[in-house]
Amino acid sequence: MVTAKVWVLKKHFEGFPKISNFDLKEIELPNLKDGELLLQSVFLSVDPYMRPYSRRDMKEGDVMIGTQVARIVESKNPAFTVGVFVVARSGWRTHFISDGKDLQALPSSWPESLPRSLALGTIGMPGLTAYFGLLEVCKTKPGETVLVNAAAGAVGSVVGQLAKIWGCKVVGCAGSDDKVAYLKKIGFDEAFNYKTVTSLDEALRKASPDGYDCFFDNVGGEFASVAINQMKKYGRIAVCGAISQYNDTVPQKGPYVQIPMIFKELRMEGFLVTSWNNRWEEGLKALLKWVMEGKVKCHEQVTEGFENMPAAFIGMLKGENLGKAVVKV
Amino acid sequence: MVTAKVWVLKKHFEGFPKISNFDLKEIELPNLKDGELLLQSVFLSVDPYMRPYSRRDMKEGDVMIGTQVARIVESKNPAFTVGVFVVARSGWRTHFISDGKDLQALPSSWPESLPRSLALGTIGMPGLTAYFGLLEVCKTKPGETVLVNAAAGAVGSVVGQLAKIWGCKVVGCAGSDDKVAYLKKIGFDEAFNYKTVTSLDEALRKASPDGYDCFFDNVGGEFASVAINQMKKYGRIAVCGAISQYNDTVPQKGPYVQIPMIFKELRMEGFLVTSWNNRWEEGLKALLKWVMEGKVKCHEQVTEGFENMPAAFIGMLKGENLGKAVVKV
């Protein structure tokens, strides 16, 4: 008999999530039936989407939604061998039982030397979000100028590096000087701290006086309102996230977008990476290759201890992480 | 020697245009040189775009921008015969001289019985705006539900009828009961007066409980904010106009669009019909055919007298017209 620890949503978030919204519980797992396997979480992911999706997909008392890299510790399913690592979508749990259907093997070419936690970040959902967002939504072309915000985050840092690989000029914004230094280190052409600039409008104009062809938006809100006025004719805006709005209790307002949309003939497209579920293998293969070649660098903010999951989640929403925020069990 | 009357922009518009923004002047036209021709405006167009473009493209004292159907009254250019009608972009003038370069002949198959004023409306720029906006921006498919506002206007009325030809369900909104009756008469499945409904949100839900695949937006502002929340997954919003915002002295604000854009994976695209300049012939041919077959019905609001151009323009901005607003000289 195995005891799993789980984090449940005790009370729906109102505004910014608090530690008191969560409850740590213990669950006795039953013995395995034929076809089942027991898994132990090794790394768990905390991601912005959990904030809006908690309201849509969960009720109070449910185990928090989420993804992990897990190790198979016991198997009554001949298709799965003990010791193998997989990506699962089993929520905030230390242990869980699966019939194997929703498990995703790490790419077969995954090198031993590479941290498996990257399967939750650059070589996982966030990396794929950057890949398909730039390739299929922005339809970025060589020579174009790409703007990305939350640029030192799990998605943004990959967006900038892929845009560089694809021959673009890249401008990134982040919320601390350390993050800005990191962006310059990984090859961003221009980077600035949006919290300390006198005027975001001026900082964006200075970084690219001719404007922007593509804007990969992870933030929404006021940032997006300023950026839209600096798009070039036929510019594309990939709306990936709106982290500045997820904790609003009353929806924020900003200037209507229609006039710049019309007169600059802009395209704005919201997207979820799940729309390319049938192309994940292609994306993961490309990302793994670039990481191994050193063309895409990865940084992770690792929080130790399952008991710190709510703190890691809240810290990530506050922008305390550089790169991908993960929790090591 | 011919004396042309012209309307000049005396003072840039601040807020809603007023008669006092305009000045009627007389200009003596010189004798024709070789290669030139003298034209007389027969119908002049008043269109919403003139409001935002006046600020962008004109200075005080300039002749108002605009388009006309004109008749060649004198020609020293062998390529142009006296008596022929053309579409010109010579602004608000009764007479003008041209070297022929920017003149556009009416389609060769134009029947004698058809009012030539339609070359400024359904079989002209507004009709083409509906055609390319639906075909290339909305990418409307048979069986989809299309929402259009300002639906009894020059563009909206064509949008609805084309969507019906292409096998869609069409919901239209307009600002008077007469307009709503007209929309039903020309085949809209659902139509309502947005000014008299208790709740726009409820009225839109009632007209299409499953939501909307395509939204052809001529209005922007609050209407657009309500409609975006009723788009279906992967919905497309063609942003054609923002007549509710053109006269703002301070930009209006509304709820940020990012959250519905992301979670419903919407595409919003602003467009100008000039992006399809190389396909006007295709569009005009199709529109002319549908008009001749009775599949697209046309209504015009004709104001008599060149001296009434400012009043016709202001009336159009106020939504006083049913169908295309034109001025007969």
Interface of B with A in 203-242 (CB under 8 A): 217, 220-221, 224-225, 239-242
Minimum Cα–Cα distance from A222: chain B residue: B256
Section A209-222 average pLDDT: 98
* Token pair listed for A243: 């982290």
Cα dist from A9 to A13, A58, A196, whole Å = 9, 8, 35
What value, to the nearest 5°, has the Cα angle with vertex A134 and ends A132 and A140? 135
CB contact under 8 A, B270 and A263: yes
Report pLDDT for A1.
79
Query: Is B52 an interface residue toward A (CB < 8 Å)?
Result: yes
pLDDT score of B322 more than 90: yes
Q: Are A298 and A121 within 8 A, CB to CB?
A: yes
Question: Binning pLDDT at 50, 70 and 90, where does residue A307 land?
Answer: very high
Q: Is B11 helix (H, G, I), strand (E, B) or coil?
A: coil
The string of DSSP letters for B118-137 reads GGGTTTSHHHHHHHHIIIII
Report pLDDT for A39.
98
Cβ atoms within 10 Å of A159's Cβ, excluding its own: 32
Cα dist from B267 to A144, B171, B276, whole Å = 21, 19, 20
pTM of the model: 0.96
Report pLDDT for B1.
79
pLDDT score of B109 more than 90: no
Which tens digit of pLDDT belongs to each residue from B199-215? Answer: 999 999 999 999 999 99
- Rounded to whole angstroms, the Cα distance separating A30 from A171 reads 52
CA distance A257 to chain B (A): 9
Q: Are A183 and A160 within 8 A, CB to CB?
A: yes
What value, to the nearest 5°, has the Cα angle with vertex A306 and ends A302 and A309? 70
A150 contact partners, CB below 8 Å, separation of at least 6: A156, A173, A174, A175, A218, A219, A241, A243, A319
What's the N-to-C CA distance of chain B in angstroms?
20
Q: Is B236 helix (H, G, I), strand (E, B) or coil?
A: strand
* Token pair listed for A55: 């309201």
Report pLDDT for A107.
83
Cα dist from B39 to A20, B35, B71, whole Å = 78, 13, 5
Report pLDDT for A10.
98
Report pLDDT for B252.
94
Report pLDDT for A109.
86
Question: Binning pLDDT at 50, 70 and 90, where does residue B156 land?
Answer: very high
Which tens digit of pLDDT belongs to each residue from B7-36? Answer: 999 999 999 999 999 999 999 999 999 999
Chain A positions touching B253 (Cβ under 8 A) are 253-256
A270 → closest Cβ in B220, B252, B262: B262
* Token pair listed for A148: 């990305």
Interface of B with A in 110-149 (CB under 8 A): none
Section A174-201 average pLDDT: 97
A249 contact partners, CB below 8 Å, separation of at least 6: A14, A15
Q: Domain boundaries in chain A?
A: 2-117+301-328, 125-274
Percent of chain B with pLDDT over 70: 100
Percent of chain A with pLDDT over 90: 96
pLDDT score of A108 more than 90: no
Report pLDDT for A53.
94
pLDDT score of B45 more than 90: yes
CB contact under 8 A, B259 and A242: yes
pLDDT score of B143 more than 90: yes
- Rounded to whole angstroms, the Cα distance separating A78 from A80 reads 5
Cα dist from B3 to A272, A274, A305, B9, B209, whole Å = 62, 66, 87, 19, 59
pLDDT score of B108 more than 90: no
CB contact under 8 A, A272 and B255: no
Report pLDDT for A196.
97
Which tens digit of pLDDT belongs to each residue from B223-254? Answer: 999 999 999 999 999 999 999 999 999 989 99
CB contact under 8 A, B52 and A245: no
- Of A261, A267, A259, A227, nearest to A244 by C-alpha is A227
Question: Binning pLDDT at 50, 70 and 90, where does residue B260 land?
Answer: very high
Query: Is A181 an interface residue toward B (CB < 8 Å)?
Result: no
Mean pLDDT across chain B, nearest whole number? Answer: 97
Q: Are A259 and B248 within 8 A, CB to CB?
A: no
Report pLDDT for B107.
83
User: What CATH number has the domain spanning B125-274?
Assistant: 3.40.50.720
CA distance B32 to chain A (A): 37
Query: Is A320 an interface residue toward B (CB < 8 Å)?
Result: no
Report pLDDT for B59.
97
Section A125-150 average pLDDT: 98
* Token pair listed for A62: 């449910």
Section A59-71 average pLDDT: 98
Mean pLDDT across chain A, nearest whole number? Answer: 97
Query: Is B261 an interface residue toward A (CB < 8 Å)?
Result: yes
CB contact under 8 A, A245 and B256: yes
pLDDT score of A152 more than 90: yes
CB contact under 8 A, A262 and B254: no
Fold of B2-117+301-328: Quinone Oxidoreductase; Chain A, domain 1 (3.90.180)
Which tens digit of pLDDT belongs to each residue from B176-192? Answer: 999 999 999 999 999 99
Report pLDDT for A129.
98
ipTM of the complex: 0.95
